[in-house]
Amino acid sequence: MQSDSASMGFRCLGFLLLLFLTQANASVGHYSTSLQNEFSVSWAADHVNFLRGGQELQLKLDQNSGSGFTSKKKYLFGNISMQIKLVPGDSAGTVTAYYLSSEGVNHDELDFEFLGNKSGEPYVLQTNVYASGKGDREQRIYLWFDPTKDFHSYGVLWTPQHILFMVDGVPIRVFKNNKAVGVPYPESQAMGVYSSLWNGDSWATQGGLVKIDWSHAPFVAAYRNFQAHNSFNERYQTDMLSPAEKKKLWWVKKNYMIYDYCNDKQRYPVPPPECTINL
């Protein structure tokens, strides 16, 4: 009887351990989305590699070419994210762009642009919002981790009420629907997902003062675990951030923001109307 009880106990313990490991794998390390099914090469196929059965994708930049890919589907609203590991070492002058965009002159676009750096210096992440062809809404932050050591998640939660830019689940920017005060908002054009790795040394690092050192080429950025969901928490449809999310957003702004177009008086002596409206 005691032997049977012990055996059952060990079986239960083993099942719980398996369940724990399965859940941990699903939440942290598991990524089953085949990027080959989701994306096609848009630029320089010989500089794009699919690895791990299509679960990982790499873009390469060298003196001959950069490279890029685009999604096979387009999206109108949703929660869209990708895990990216950026170019390591001396990446000065390189730009890794990851963005959503529609087509045409009056296009909509939501940008993540990772601006390369000299070894040991922090990456700069620039975000921008285009609506009906109008952009010039840049914000720049330093990342609070080394984005070259491991994969990190970068995504947008795009609803009819607002656009929330997120890094590893931390809100870094909110762009609200302020059509009521004449501010265009992306809401009618479906957007594809794009990424490219290219030579931006005319402007990307210290305003173009630091150029690419081609002796470090090829430069490689890696991607995995693409997620696109049309559903999102109902409270986001009412344009509400939780107190914890607001606290995280202000933490980023206070400690890591280095440029905000809303505060650029040289460009905008009169602040754009969306800049005068509180969260």
**Would you call 274 a catalytic residue per the annotation?**
no
Q: Where do the DSSP E strands lie in 76-180?
A: 78-85, 94-101, 109-115, 124-130, 139-142, 152-158, 162-167, 170-176
Give the active site residue among 56, 113, 121, 245: 113
Whether cis (ω within 30° of 0) applies to the bond prior to 273 is no
As a whole number of angstroms, the distance between CA 97 and CA 70 comes to 12
Give the active site residue among 109, 187, 234, 245: 109
As a whole number of angstroms, the distance between CA 187 and CA 123 comes to 31
Q: Which of 197, 75, 196, 183 is nearest to 134 (CA)?
A: 183
Q: 188 vs 103, 184, 192, 202, 237, CA distance in Å? A: 12, 11, 13, 34, 16
Count of all residues that appear for the chain in the document? 279
- Kindly report the number of other CB atoms within 10 A of residue 267's CB atom: 11
As a whole number of angstroms, the distance between CA 179 and CA 185 comes to 7
As a whole number of angstroms, the distance between CA 237 and CA 235 comes to 5
DSSP assignment, residue 206? G
As a whole number of angstroms, the distance between CA 49 and CA 12 comes to 43
**Would you call 38 a catalytic residue per the annotation?**
no
Return the active site residues.
109, 113
